[in-house]
Amino acid sequence: MVRDKAEPYFGLIIEMKKKKKTQADLAKLINVDRSTFNQKLNRTNGKDFYYSEAQLIAKELNIRVSDFS
C-alpha cells in the first residue's frame, strides 16, 4: 500500500510572505534549526509541527492553525 505524500503548508507559506517572515525567523520562534523548520513546513519524511509550535507560529502571524493548509 502506497501512502499519499503530505502536501506542504501552502497557506502558511503565503502568510509568511505577506507578513515578511522568513523560515529563520519562525524557526527561532519555535526553537528549531532553520533546516528542521523547512522539513516541517514541507512535511518532508513525515515531519510536521507539534501543535504547540503551530500555535506559536499562528499567534506570531495573527492567523489560525487551520489557515496553514
The CATH number covering residue 63 comes to 1.10.260.40
Contacts 24+ apart (CB under 8 A), 4-10: 5/43, 6/43, 6/46, 6/48, 7/43, 7/69, 8/41, 8/42, 8/43, 9/41, 9/42, 9/43, 9/68, 9/69, 10/69
* Residue 39 confidence (pLDDT): 98
Helix, coil or strand: residue 58: helix
Range of the domain at 30: 10-68
Query: Do the domain assignments include residue 1?
Result: no
How far, in Å, CA of 23 to CA of 9, rounded?
13
Give the pLDDT score at 5.
81
Tell me what the mean pLDDT of segment 20-40 comes to: 99
The answer to whether residue 32 is domain-embedded is yes
Q: Is residue 20 part of a domain?
A: yes
What is the pTM for the complete model shown? 0.91
What is the domain count for the chain?
Answer: 1
Residues 40-68 pLDDT 10s: 999 999 999 999 999 999 999 999 999 99
* pLDDT above 90: residue 3: no
Looking at the domain assignment, is residue 2 inside a domain? no
